[in-house]
Chain A
Amino acid sequence: MQMLEARNLKVKYGKAEVLADITFSLSEGETLMLIGPNGAGKSTLLRTLNGTIQLTEGEVSINGKPLASYSRHEIAKRIAVVAQENETKFPITVRDFILAGRFASGTSFGWDSGSDISAAAAAIMECELEGFEDRLMNELSGGERQRVVLARAIATGARILLLDEPTANLDLAHQASMFRLVRKKCRDHRYSAVVITHDINLAAEFADRIMLLTEGSQYAIGTPAEVLLEASILEIFEMQVILDNNPVSGNVRVTSVY
């Protein structure tokens, strides 16, 4: 069952074509990772999937229905975004920040219901944020804030996760635990995820499929072994690499030649 389908997506700003003819589908339980050089259009593509950026041509469908037919509310119940978090000017606690994720499921005025509070508590536990609930967001480090953003996305209950460089500020251990958590949600709870990352090896470890993007175009899409080829990486990243296999997992391992 295709959770998300993208057909011939095109985004143009005036004469500049930022995304050209992207087509792919995402099944239940699948993790798709977007890889490409800076400016390739990864964030733009991600943002078309939940309607933040308008498509010039093409269509995105969720569960078979076009994205445009859903209201903002309904989209937010199905798709959650984890992006770089901006600094908040007003003081807000971690708990309230995560509870904000329940907006789409709640009534317009109501105080937070029991299910809201338990969803938030479950998300806090899954993201290993116990003890952080009463702390203010602007007291936390960049990495800690990223984890709170992920917890909020999980608290929404949406089963399609869009993550834009979620591990940018995280240390090694938390990078691993974040990707493990995304994989667990996909495998055990039938979520789907589209993840932008610069870490090719993490992608090789955790992705079911990888899409290579360059200059707004889809260069290749397939399993890590199919897509991560020395020649492709050289052409797209202009970087010489050696490929072998990770001694622990057996997955493709990319080593840059400096």
Chain B
Amino acid sequence: MLAAGLAVSLVLAAAFGSESLSFTGLSDEQRAILFDIRIPRVLLAACVGASLAAAGAGLQSLLRNPLAEPYLLGVSNGAALGTMLAFTFFETVEWSRPILAFAGAGAATIAVYRMARGRAGMSVERLVLSGVIVTTFLSSVIVMLTSLLDAAKLRSFTFWLLGDLSQSTLSGAYLAFAVAVLGTVVLSSQARALNLMMIGERDAFDLGVEVGRVRLIVFVAVAAMVGSTVAASGSVGYVGLIVPHLVRLGAGSDNRGVIPFSALAGASFVVIADLGARTIIAPRELPVGAITALIGAPLFIYLLRKS
């Protein structure tokens, strides 16, 4: 059902935009818009949504924390900082962006995890607090870096930071697709172990889970997924937080379903959000991260009050 929903949203998003298009009888110019710009962009949106949602689902299970999310934990900012450094210092090296984004995401993940792990283990509050510290610290570094840029670059960067799907390169999109698919498969392969880790780390250990290995696999997958999406499209927040929660409400907490379904639902979510970003104030654009935050934050408050 979710797959059908994704298909529908993909078609819708392809059809609408700053110029409405049908699929038949297109002029050359319209065909160019559809195939060269819009369809790749819609597919990238799907990949970004899938990666972020699946990564969020994985992190929440691993860390036993319903508030774990790449954006809130500072992983997105780490990737953004990496991308900025690549952009500023290695502009001509095309692969520098995703590689440094991955490194930044990985470093942020490790930092948050280490900080959150006190002597008595890791509480929900400690993790959120560590996430806030890392996020705000990295934000400040990013702001400092942007102040070094000239005005034109500054504006486009600020826009990009909030999630901008219009700047992606083709190779960035291919990478995002590959990582989205591969990452979701890898995380899904750990689904049973993650189910046990959700019960408790000690319980999981007693029942035969190699806790250290699962943690490493999930962190690497999440860093790759967040790194590739941020490198392609900036920092899109709340997807990893909201989508898994909604999926769990509908389908229960079993990760064997939650992870792949979150990928599908996340894809639809960002495709629709990007549709909004392109059409609400057409012909100008809003950053898609602003849309996801505007939808996501109130939705999350509602979910919090329900539980």
Contact = CB atoms under 8 A, between A and B. Distances in A.
A156 interface: yes
Given A90-B253, A108-B192, A77 B208 contact: yes
A75 interface: yes
B208 to A, nearest CB: 3
A97 interface: yes
Contact of B199 (A77, A100, A108): A100
Given A100-B195, A100-B199, A92 B253 contact: yes
B206 A109 contact: no
B207 A76 contact: yes
B199 A92 contact: yes
Contacts of A132: none
A76 B202 CA distance: 12
B205 interface: yes
Nearest to B307: A91
A16 to B, nearest CB: 15
Interface residues of B, number: 27
Contacts of B188: 109
A100 B207 contact: yes
A96 B256 contact: no
A104 B200 contact: no
Contact of A88 (B199, B202, B248): B199
Interface in A32-67: 50, 52
Nearest to B254: A96
B158 interface: no
Interface in B191-241: 191-193, 195-196, 198-200, 202-203, 205-210
Contacts of A72: 205, 208-210
B199 A97 contact: yes
A90 B64 contact: yes
Contacts of B202: 52, 83, 86
A81 B206 contact: yes
B253 A103 contact: no
Interface string A232-245: 00000000000000
Contacts of B253: 90-92
A15 interface: no
A70 B191 CA distance: 23
A106 interface: yes
A81 B209 CA distance: 14
B189 interface: yes
A52 B205 contact: yes
A20 interface: no
Query: In this complex, which of A72, A86, A96 has the most chain B Cβ atoms within 10 angstroms of its Cβ?
Result: A72
Interface string A183-216: 0000000000000000000000000000000000
B208 A104 contact: yes
A182 B85 CA distance: 62
Q: Pick from A71, A90, A109 the residue with the most CB of B within 10 Å.
A: A90
A80 B188 CA distance: 26
Contacts of B207: 76, 100-101, 103-104, 156
A73 B64 contact: no
Interface in B40-80: 61, 64-66
Contact of A80 (B196, B206, B254): B206
A120 B78 CA distance: 44
B294 interface: no
A4 B67 CA distance: 42
A73 B61 CA distance: 20
B64 A89 contact: yes
A104 B66 CA distance: 26
A70 to B, nearest CB: 10
A92 B209 CA distance: 18
Contacts of B199: 88, 92, 97, 100
B196 A103 contact: yes
Interface in A136-166: 156
A138 B193 CA distance: 21
Interface string A93-113: 000110011011010110100
B124 interface: yes
B189 A108 contact: yes
Given A76-B206, A156-B207, A109 B191 contact: yes
Please name the 4 residue pairs, one residue from A and one from B, whose CB atoms are nearest each other, closest first.
Answer: A76-B208, A104-B208, A81-B206, A73-B208
Interface of B: 61, 64-66, 124, 188-189, 191-193, 195-196, 198-200, 202-203, 205-210, 248, 253-254, 256
Given A97-B199, A100-B196, A156-B207, 5 more contacts: A90-B64, A90-B248, A92-B199, A103-B193, A103-B207
Interface of A: 50, 52, 71-73, 75-77, 80-81, 83, 85-86, 88-92, 96-97, 100-101, 103-104, 106, 108-109, 111, 156
16 contacts: A52-B205, A71-B210, A72-B209, A89-B64, A89-B65, A90-B64, A90-B253, A97-B199, A100-B203, A103-B192, A103-B207, A103-B208, A103-B209, A109-B189, A109-B191, A109-B256
